Every structure is written in structure tokens, then in C-alpha cells.
């Protein structure tokens, strides 16, 4: 049922969740999905650290808090919404944690590729990452993406 | 003449304007266009508030102001440009306000879809939004986007 | 071997480098590549200034520094990585500078288009930019992108 190719450039939690939501949704619809983790996006697939369960709520809080003064006008009125969001999430816990979504993605057969150049430049070794399917260069990305029905940069 | 599918993830004014510009441009060219408003992008289609006419200039100003110290090196030299931009816009007023662009998009037949999961998580109700064509899940997005000639994540 | 169409909306150094990497990679693979520079992305193709060689390292440093306190939780643990990155880059210098990547892109035949509306609104004149192939409107973008095998918004 087609192919999807997603560059995960951002290491921001909200964008990573969006990328994983599209990836798992596409895979669940029977698509052949590839995620390319590059630049800050390498953080998403780093072992431990940024993606630990407990840390998630703290991060979510920070994400919302910065909506109030650092991020800019368009999110100013998200502050109230953000606190509400966090409370709801903590209460209901029906939103999946990033590492749960990553596990879902892997189970659904989503291919995880790490960007070789980013890793080299940033000093990230393969053993710093959760298991990925391959470490590749931009040529591999181009080849995959040119055959994709959905190609996104997130 | 083909289909376009745009995820509006960002609630930032500049990105929302870019998304609406592509959407109306594509619709004016005869394309079948769908916009999926998700996460912060829900702000773009909230009633009143963030998108009121008078508030726009203030927001534009804040947007530019933050270019000076909060946003980072690449936009530092946009500060002067930003003030110039705002002045020009206030004088000429030949740039459409977001709600005008939204009205244009609706008139041109652009489909507005709101993300069900984002709404639930963020506590946004359908009555908080301007009229949309539907509230949908990721499966609907995937189905639409896989048939699109242009699929963007903004 | 197909077409690629990339909107460069962001003026952030990291995103500009990512856009240029995909563009040159696609062109090197034989694809017909078009980059549309719009909004903050116009900064990427401005003469001098933001893209001078010496300034690059300073900018890279700022980019990393802001990872520590301004950018948000997902990049907090990039601070150490960032300094490491910069040092490696300064020592090895095997990562291309933006203007080198732009030169590569031009040599590989990547088409550079500047957004007419953004230029008008922001008061940017054609002579402020490095030589581009054309200054175009959204209709041209839509026409190009609808034929593209890879269409990204960066």
C-alpha cells in the first residue's frame, strides 16, 4: 500500500511524537515506512536519557512552560492549554510515551535509519543509539524518498 | 490537477501563513487541497484569540523582536529587516491577515481537518474551533497523504 | 531520475545545511532539484553577511550555546555534544561550509528560486541575493512541486 519516508531532523519532543504518530499510523495502514534520524533527531533514538519515562513529564512541563515566555506569540495562549494538557496526561495516561511509540513502530516494521554524517559530525557512535536497521548516507535517503508516496521533513 | 496534503503542526504565525499561502496557491491552481491541523496548529483554527486582526501586528512585532535575542544566530540580521517588514505591512497593508487567508482557503474549497488525538489531549473541543470539515485520526491523514502529489509537514 | 522540490523557509543554520545536503545529494543522484527560498530562508541566499566563512564557527557556537538554555528540553543534552561537534569541526574541517554547499549545489545544477512575495514584503531586492535562477510566485512553486517525487518543507 505504498511507502512513507520521514526525516526526523528535530529533537523536540512534540515533533518527535508527531513523527512517530505518522510513522505508526502509516505502518498500521500497511505502508512500508522508513524513518531517517538526522542531526537533533539522533536524540530521539539515543539510549536512555532524553526518552526515559519519568523524564517525559518533566520535559512536557518544560515544553509547556517555555510556551509562556520563550517560544513566541503564537504559543502564548497555549500556556493554559499546556498545563491542562499535562494534567490530563498525568491523570489519564492514555497518551503513549515516546519509548512506547518507538517500540510500537519497531513492532509494526518501521525501518529506523541513522544518518552517518550527523553521527560522525556529532560524535555519536552506533552503540549510543537504540538498535537501528542501518547507518546510511544521504544517497540512501534520496533513493528511498524518491519512491515514497509520503515524504516528510519533521 | 492533483492533490495536496498539508499538516499544520506549528502554531507560529509565520509558518501558518506559509501553510495557508501554499494551500490557497495550490487550490487556485485547481488542486484538491487538504489541511490537517494538529498539535500547536490547532491554534490556527481556534475561534477569535490568536487570529484577531488587531492582534496580528502586535504578534508580528513580537515575532520580529524575538528574532533579536531569543531565536538564534540565523535570524539575528533579520531584526532590521523585521522592523522594516512591519512598517511596510502597516503602511501598505497589502499582505493578507491570517483570517482573510483562511476565508480565501475556504472559498477556494480547501478541506480543513482537525486532529482528533491532539484535540482530546489538549482539551480542545470542536466548538472552540472555527467550522472545520471533519475531526479525524491519523489513519485518515495517511490515506489522504498517500494519494497526494504534494505532502508537506509545516 | 525524478524531481525534488525543497522549500527553504527556515533561516536557521542547521536546517539550511540539512536542506542543502538533501538538495546536493538528490542532484548527485541525477535528480532535477529545485530549491524555493522563502521567508527567513531568503537569508540563506543573501550576499555576504550570515554566510561568511569566519562567521560560521561563531554561529555554530551560538547555535550550540543556545541549546543549553533557550531552545528547550529536547536539546539540553546536546550542549556537550555541541561543543564536541564544534571542536571536531574546527579540527577536522571535513564538514562543508554553507557557501561551499551552495557552490556545490549550483555546480550540480540545482535550480535556485526566490519567493517574490517574501522579497516584496521583507524589502529584499534581487541585488541583495546571490545570483538565483528566477524570482517566482507560489503558482510556480505549486506547478514544480506537484511534479516532484520528493517535496519537502524545511
Is C22 within the bounds of a domain?
A: yes
- Write down the pTM of the prediction: 0.79
| C146/B151 touch (CB, cutoff 8 Å), yes or no | no
Distance CA B54, CA B101 (A): 15
Q: Which residues pair with A108 in a beta bridge?
A: none
pLDDT (tens digit per residue) in A49-70: 544 333 444 445 444 444 333 3
Measured CA to CA, the distance from residue C59 to residue A119 in angstroms comes to 20
More confident residue, C82 or C11: C11
Overall domain count for chain A = 1
Measure the CA–CA gap between C5 and C67, rounded to whole angstroms.
30
Q: State the chains in contact with C (3 or more Cβ–Cβ pairs under 8 Å).
A: A, B
In a domain? residue A7: yes
The Cα A139–Cα C10 span in angstroms is 23
The answer, yes or no, to whether residue A76 has pLDDT greater than 80, is no
> What is the signed CA dihedral for B107, B111, B115, B120, rounded to 10 degrees?
50
Quickly tell me which residue has 502564548 as its cell. Answer: A76
Pick from A105, A132, A95: nearest CA to A27: A105
Q: Which of B48, B121, B123, B137 to mutate to test the interface with A (most CBs of A within 10 A)?
A: B121
Q: What is the mean pLDDT of residues B67-73?
A: 33
**Residue B86 is assigned to a structural domain of this protein:** no
Residue A27 lies in a domain: yes
Indicate whether A84 belongs to any domain.
Answer: no
User: Which positions in chain B touch C125 (Cβ < 8 Å)?
Assistant: none
Which residue from B4, A17, B84 is spatially nearest to C7, judged by alpha carbons? Answer: B4
Listed in sequence order, the residues at least 6 apart from C146 whose beta carbon sits closer than 8 Å to its beta carbon are B1, B2, B4, B26, B29, B31, B149, B150
CATH classification at residue C135: 3.40.1260.10
Please check the confidence at residue B72 and state whether its pLDDT lies above 60.
Answer: no
ipTM for the whole predicted complex goes beyond 0.85: no
- Asked if the model's pLDDT at residue B92 lies above 60, the reply is no
For residue B64, is it within any domain?
no
Is A84 or B4 the better-scoring residue by pLDDT?
B4
Domain contains A128:
yes
> In this structure, is residue A44 part of a structural domain?
yes
Are A21 and B140 a contacting pair, CB within 8 Å? no
Q: Is the pLDDT of residue A71 over 50?
A: no
- CB spacing of A25 vs B50 below 8 angstroms: no
- Does residue B68 have a pLDDT over 70? no
Range of the domain at C14: 3-51+97-153
Calculate how close chain A gets to B12, using CA atoms only, in Å.
Answer: 5
Helix (H) or strand (E) holding B79: helix B78-92
Task: Share the mean pLDDT of chain B.
Answer: 78
Amino acid at each position: 500500500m505504498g511507502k512513507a519516508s520521514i526525516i526526523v531532523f528535530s529533537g523536540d519532543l512534540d515533533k518527535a511524537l508527531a513523527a512517530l504518530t505518522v510513522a505508526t499510523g502509516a505502518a498500521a495502514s500497511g505502508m512500508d515506512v522508513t524513518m531517517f534520524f538526522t542531526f537533533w533527531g539522533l536524540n530521539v533514538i539515543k539510549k536512555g536519557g532524553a526518552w526515559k519515562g519519568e523524564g517525559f513529564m518533566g520535559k512536557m512541563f518544560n515544553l509547556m512552560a517555555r510556551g509562556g515566555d520563550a517560544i513566541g506569540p503564537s504559543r502564548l495562549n497555549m500556556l493554559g492549554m499546556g498545563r491542562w494538557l499535562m494534567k490530563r496526561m498525568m491523570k489519564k495516561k492514555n497518551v503513549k510515551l515516546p519509548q512506547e511509540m518507538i517500540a510500537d513502530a519497531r513492532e509494526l516494521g518501521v525501518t529506523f535509519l541513522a544518518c552517518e554524517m550527523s553521527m560522525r559530525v556529532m560524535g555519536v557512535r552506533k552503540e549510543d543509539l537504540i538498535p537501528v536497521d542501518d547507518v546510511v548516507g544521504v544517497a540512501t535517503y534520496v533513493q528511498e524518498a524518491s519512491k515514497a508516496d509520503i515524504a516528510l521533513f519533521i
